[in-house]
Amino acid sequence: MTRAVLVTGASRGIGAATAEAFAAAGDRVAVHYGSSPEAAAKVLSALPGSGHVLVQADLADPEAIRTMVDEAAAALGGIDVLVNNAGVYHPHHIRETTYAAWQQAWADTLAVNLVGPANVTWCAVRHMRRGGRIVNVSSRGAFRGEPNQPAYGASKAAIVSFTQSLARALGPEGIAVTAIAPGWTTTDMAAVNLAGEGYDRRRMESPLERVADPSEVAGAIHYLASPEAEFATGTVLDFNGGSHLRM
């Protein structure tokens, strides 16, 4: 069965790989981007199959989100799967950041990483029927702490709580909601931390002695959005290569 899939932040990294995974399975994908039209268009043009569409919105702008989601739903004939992947990552250690920069980092991070996905979800659910799936991309940082970017860690922890709340709210409608918490993954966002000696240090955090490829995370997202994973609703899949283990 062909599904209509909206992936936010799909111009690169995990989002681009996720769009590819769904398209390869025969689904129609709305490739969302915020500020990289050329990269998003490249992702779109490389997707297998047909019926895909490019949509744009600043996730800090609620009205832009509403327009974007409605455009995606109109082009795809509804929304069966939503993947809230888009996110930002601003370093702001509490001892090394001015008060003004501290406030800005929190405002910018929460706007895109938490409030944005909440608004996208509100809009998308209006187009979603029984059997719908929502997968929220959290992070290992939600559980281990992020000393150099605390707003990022807090936003990703809040996404987990948001996932659990929605799983209970939407379950009676047959809509399942899950989250995935990746560790280090070879994306543009992580590139500065995975350069040079940083790569060896980060890969050795995992007993597998490597970091993840975006396609691996995308494969897990595709599974969480599958009919077979319905009973996993409300859960968080740790996907960090054993680099951070929790009960």
Residues classed as catalytic: 152
Q: Can you read off the two tokens belonging to residue 40?
A: 């998003």
230: closest CA among 147, 158, 135?
135
Range list of β-strands (E), 87-183: 133-137, 176-182
How many angstroms separate the most distant Cα atoms in the chain? 53
d(CA 90, CA 69): 26
d(CA 2, CA 77): 11
d(CA 85, CA 21): 14
